Structure 1
Amino acid sequence: MKNTYIGSRPGLLAKKLVSLLLQGMVLAAVLGVAYILFATTQENLEIRGIESGFAFLWREAGLPIGDSLIEYDPSRSYGYAFLVGVLNTLLVSALAIVFATILGVMVGVARVSNNWLLAKCAAIYVETLRNLPLLLTLFFVYSVVLASLPHPREAIVLAEGYFLSKRGVYLPRPVAEEGFGIFVAAVCIALLLAVIFWRWAGAYKRRTGTSVPGFWGGLAIFGTLATLAYLASNSPIGSELPVYKGFNFKGGLALKPEFAALLIGLILYTAAFIGENVRSGIQSVQAGQIEAANALGVSRGVVTRLVLLPQALRVTIPATTNDYASLVKNSSLAVAIGYPDMVSIGGTIIGQNGQAIEIIAMWMAVYLTINLIISLVMNVLNARVQVVER
C-alpha cells in the first residue's frame, strides 16, 4: 500500500500542474481580451475627440432637477447632480420596499383566505400584475390615473392641509421649533427603555415559562413616554401648510406625480411577487400544526398571526431578496416618466459630455453596491430566523 501511494504522487502532482497551467492560460486569455477592449475603446475615444476619465464630475452641470432631497441648483457640479439622482433612487427604492412588503404579505394571506371573494380578488391582482410589463403599469398610473385628477384649484381635500391634484400630493411640512432637541433626546431614551423591557420580557419567559407581553408592553412604554415628552416640551414640532397661490400650491411638502407614479408602480408590481412568496410559504406549513390549533379552538386570525406567518415568512426570505434586488433595478424605468433618478440624470450628463463609459460604470457600481447590501442584510436575517433541525 505504501509503495502504491508513493507511486501515485507524481501522477497527482502532474494533474495539479496541468490544472494550474490551464487556469493560468484561461486567466491570461481573459486579461488579454480585456486589454484589447480597453485599448480599442481608448483609441476610438481619441479618434472622436472624447475625453476619458472622471474629471468632468467637477465641472458645472447646468442641469435643472425638479426633485431633490438635498439643496441643489444648476451651478452645482456634475458629480453633485449625479449624487442627487442616487439619493432619489435610494428614496423611491426604500419606500417601495417597505410598502411592497406590507402589501405583499396582505395579498399572500388573502390568497389562502377562506373568503372566496377575497381570495379570488387577490388571485386576479397577482396574476394581472405579474403578467404585465412594469413599464406599462407605470404609464397607466402616470398617464391615466394621476392625469385624471383635478387641477390644483379644484384639488381634492383629503384632510386639513392635505391636497390631491394632477400636479401631485401636497402635505404639511414638519418644522422643528424650540425644544425639538430635548424632545428627540427623550424619544431616544423612551425607545431604549422599550427595547430593554422587550428583552427582559423574553428572558423572563425563558426563565420562568410565564408569558409577558414584551412587544406590546414596550410599545406602550415608548408611546406613553414619547407623548409625555411631546407635551412637556410644549409641542416642539410645528407644520407649514401648503397654500394655493397663482396656479399651484406653495409651501408644505409636495410629492410630484412622477415620483408618485414610480412609487405606486413599483409597489403594486413587486407586491404581486411577494404575495406569491407568502402564499407558497403559508401552504408549506405542515397541516398538522393547523389542525392542532383548530382542535384547541384557536381562532383563524390567531392561527394566521402566530402559527402560519412566523413560519411562512422564514421560507420567503430568499425569494423576497431577489424581488428587492429587482425592485431597485426596476427603479431605472423612472426615466420613462420623467422622474430624475440616477439613470435619468446620468443619461442627461452623457448627452452633454459623451462620457458614456464613465457614467455606465458609475451606474453599475451604485446598483451593485445597493444590491450587495440588500443581499447581505437579508442573508443575515435569513441565518438568524431559520429553524435549526435536529
Structure 2
Amino acid sequence: MNTEFLEALYDLEKEKGISVDVLLEAIEAALLSAYKRNFGSAQNAKVVIDRETGDFKVFSRKTVTDEVTDERLEISLQDAQAIDPNYSLGDIVETEVTPRNFGRIAAQTAKQVVVQRIREAERNLIYEDYVNREGDIITGVIQRIEQRTAYIELGKTEAVLAPSEQMPGEELYPGKRIKTYIVEVRKTTKGPQILVSRTHPGLLKRLFELEVPELQEGIVELKSVAREAGTRSKIAVYSKDENVDPVGACVGPKGMRVQNIVNELNGEKIDIVKYDPDSSKFVANSLSPSSVVAVEVWEDEKVARVIVPDYQLSLAIGKEGQNARLAAKLTGWKIDIKSESQMKELYPEYNEGDYYDDDNIEDYIDEYIDEGKQDAVEYEDENMDEDILVEPEDDIRE
C-alpha cells in the first residue's frame, strides 16, 4: 500500500460518500483477520495503516505478567523491561511482527474490503433516498413480470409490485411506464426492497396533489379518500378560501385535471364531493350522485340514517352496495339508507322530513311535536350541494 492507494480512497470518499477513516478501519480489521488466518490464529495482534503514507504494520500484543503461561499472549516483566524499563505489570507490549510476504495478501484483502464497502454504501444511499419517500409517488418502467409480480426499473434499483397491489383488469407488460405509490422500503442483505402499490388510496391522493395547484398551495384540502381500485373512488375536499370552489378546482377546466387521473387509473370512476364540518351534510354529500331528502345522525355511535326519494334508492345504494360502502368509508360513519316509502311503512306517522328513533318511538314523537328534532337536517332540492360524478367516457356533470 502507498500514497496512490490513499488517493484512490479519497476519490471514493468524494464519489460514493464513504469516509476514508471508515474504509481504513475496515481494511485494518480485514488484514488482522487475514494475518490470524495465515500466521497464527491464537496470537493477539493488531494492524495499523499509516494515514499519511499508506504503509501497514502488524504488531503482536502481549500482556506483562509475573508468570508466563502462554508465550503468544504474555511476556514476563523482565523481558518487557529489557525492551523498555518503563513497563510494569499489566501493561501491553507491542512488537512489530509484519511478515515479509504479507504484501500480496494485504493487497487482495484490501481490494475485497473496499469493493464490499462500496456496495454497502451504495445500498445504504439508495435505502436512505427511498425510505424518506414512503407515501410518495414514483414513476418507473416495468422491467419484467415473474409469476404475476411486476418488477419496475427505477434507475439504480427496482421496485416490486405484488399481484395483490395491482389494479383488477389492468394490463401490465414489460416496457410499460406507470406511476406507483411507495408503501414500504425494507433493508435486506441484498439491498433495499421497495414495495409499491397501484391500489392504495394514497395513490389517488398523491395524483390529485400533482394535478391540482390549489392542493399544493394548501388552499384546498383533501380531507379523506375511499377507494375500490379499478372500479370507483370517492374523495372529500374542502376549501379554506370561500372564494375557491374545492370541487371545481379538482375537476379543472373542462374536467381536464380529473380526466388525467382517470386515464392514469385505467378508467376508474371518481366522485368528488364537498366536505362539510356538519356531519349530516357531509354524509348527504358523500352519497353523490344520489339526491338526499334528509339525514338524521347519532353522534356518539357515529350512525346516520339517510332518507332518499324512492326513485333514488338504488342510485344511493349503488351496484352491489358500492356507493353506500364508499360513502361509509369516506365519512367514517355507519350509514342506513331508507326510501320515503320504507319510512312510511316503518312509521305510519312519518311525514317528509320527520324522524323516529327505533328504540323509543313514542318519546321521539313527543319530542318532535314539542321541540323538533335538532339533529335532523332537511335538504331541499334547490339548496342541495352540487356534487360531481366523473366517468371516463361520460360528460362531467355538476
TM-score by length of 1: 0.19
Query: Which is greater in Rg?
Result: 2
| Bigger strand share | 2
| Bigger helix share | 1
TM-score by length of 2: 0.18
User: 1 or 2 for the larger relative contact order (CA 8 Å, sep ≥6)?
Assistant: 1
